[in-house]
Amino acid sequence: MNEPQPAKPEITEPSVPEADEAVAAQTESAASQEVDREIARRTRRSLLVGGIASLIGAGAWEWLRTRRDDDEVQWPFRLALRANDQLSRDYLSETRLARTFSLADVEPPRRNGMYGLDGNPDPNWKLTVDGASDDSTELSMAEIKALPKVEMITEFKCIEGWSRILHWGGVRFRDFAEKYGPDDLDPNSYVYIETPDKQYYVGLDAASAIHPQTLLAYELNGKPLAVENGAPLRLAIPLKYGIKNIKRIGRIEFTDHRPADYWAEQGYDWYAGF
């Protein structure tokens, strides 16, 4: 920090003759006052500009805070979230892979998020598929398991901020979509997935759904899915926050319109992708 300046400037100059001394002192005193006036003027001006800038900032804050909600978040923020998503989709690669881990890294799952999981799963469970053809299709577990089995060890990241390295077993959503989805699935279309009781639902961009690491999983850490982990079939999508990894899937719909999403309706980002 700078040394505090002396309050009174030095004004004595011993070599000056006495008669001139008074004049010199007067001149210096006048110059000194001029400096004081100048800095006072500059201070006033800067504080005025700063004050106006602060008011503009406070106004912007108040304006942002009071905008009407678009799904539980003020619309300028919703706009920003969507702009971020568009940037990600346009300028980042949708084919990059999430980091994979070894078996030794696997951790126990954390129990979290029981929406749509009331009661036990229906023993006669079938997966309903819509939007692929004019009619709805119903698939049994055997038909899903007939697709090539894939295992992956990835980091499951909850939007709350914690993560778990989990070992998934299931089928690629891409393989499922090729066989049971629409012909030539447009990556710019969407996928909607909901629980049998429709209490929990997620919307996905099709590009993320057909990513090679997006699985319809029926095993977790080497065992069949437990009820609390989403039995009989759930989504494992390491490209997205945990909220998109829907448990106990009842129905999958291929659609051209951006589908509803449980947490996006509560103020969260719809895309929610890494």
Identified binder of another protein from the candidate list 9, 108, 222, 224, rule CB under 8 A: 9
Say whether residue 261 binds another protein (CB under 8 A): no
In whole angstroms, the minimum distance from the beta carbon of 224 to another protein comes to 27
In this structure, which long-range contacts are made by residues 270-273, counting pairs with CB atoms below 8 Å and at least 24 apart in sequence?
Answer: 270/81, 270/82, 270/85, 270/203, 271/81, 271/82, 271/84, 271/85, 271/88, 271/89, 271/205, 272/159, 272/240, 272/241, 272/243, 272/244, 273/85, 273/88, 273/205, 273/208, 273/239, 273/240, 273/241
**62 binds another protein per the rule CB under 8 A:** no
> With CB under 8 A, what is the number of residues at the site for another protein?
57
Q: Does residue number 68 form part of the binding site for another protein (CB under 8 A)?
A: no
Q: How far is the CB of 11 from another protein (least distance, A)?
A: 7
Interface residue with another protein among 56, 97, 103, 146 (CB under 8 A) is: 97
Interface positions, 109-128, toward another protein (CB under 8 A): none
- Given candidates 50, 59, 108, 222, which one binds another protein under the rule CB under 8 A? 50
Q: Nearest distance from residue 259's CB to another protein, in Å?
A: 19
Ramachandran area for residue 166 (φ above 0: left; ψ -120 to 50: alpha; else beta): beta
Helix (H) or strand (E) holding 86, with range, is: helix 75-91
Closest Cα to residue 157, out of 68, 274, 235? 274
Rounded CA separation 187/180 (Å): 16
Binding flag, residue 5, another protein (CB under 8 A) = yes
Binding residues for another protein (CB under 8 A): 1-6, 9-11, 28, 31-32, 35-36, 38-39, 42-43, 45-47, 50, 53, 57, 72-74, 76-78, 80-81, 84, 88, 92-93, 96-99, 155, 157-163, 238-239, 263, 266-269, 273-274
